């Protein structure tokens, strides 16, 4: 289970070009947007692409993202119950 979280952190760092961050810098409960990692609206769209590419999850409603991309823990929970690959 924690493997998925580590994997997620790694791919978020790569996919969103968070060059100056390492896996250790991101806490499972850190908020991804706002005061936490400070991600923005393009990052949110990029996370939707990541879900589709890596886990075969298609989000069609951009508002869905708001409930999923809260923290690494929330994302991992969603992926565990919805992944198709």
Chain contacts with another protein (rule: CB under 8 A)? 16-20, 40-43, 45-46, 48-49, 52-53, 60, 62
Which residue, 8 or 59, is less far from another protein as judged by CB?
59
Which residue, 3 or 67, is less far from another protein as judged by CB?
67
Q: How far is the CB of 74 from another protein (least distance, A)?
A: 20
DSSP the chain: -HHHHHHHHHHHHHHTT-TT--GGG--TTS-SBTTSS-B-HHHHHHHHHHHHHHH-----SHHHHHHHTT-HHHHHHHHHHH---
Which residue, 25 or 80, is less far from another protein as judged by CB?
25
């Amino acid at each position: 289970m924690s493997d998925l979280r580590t994997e997620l952190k790694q791919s978020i760092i790569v996919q969103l070009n968070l060059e100056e961050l390492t896996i250790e810098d991101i806490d499972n409960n850190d908020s991804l947007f706002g005061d936490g990692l400070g991600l923005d609206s393009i990052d949110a769209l990029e996370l939707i692409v990541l879900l589709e590419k890596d886990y075969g999850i298609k989000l069609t409603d951009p508002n869905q993202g708001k409930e999923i991309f809260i923290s690494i823990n929330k994302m991992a929970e969603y992926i565990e119950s919805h992944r198709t690959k």
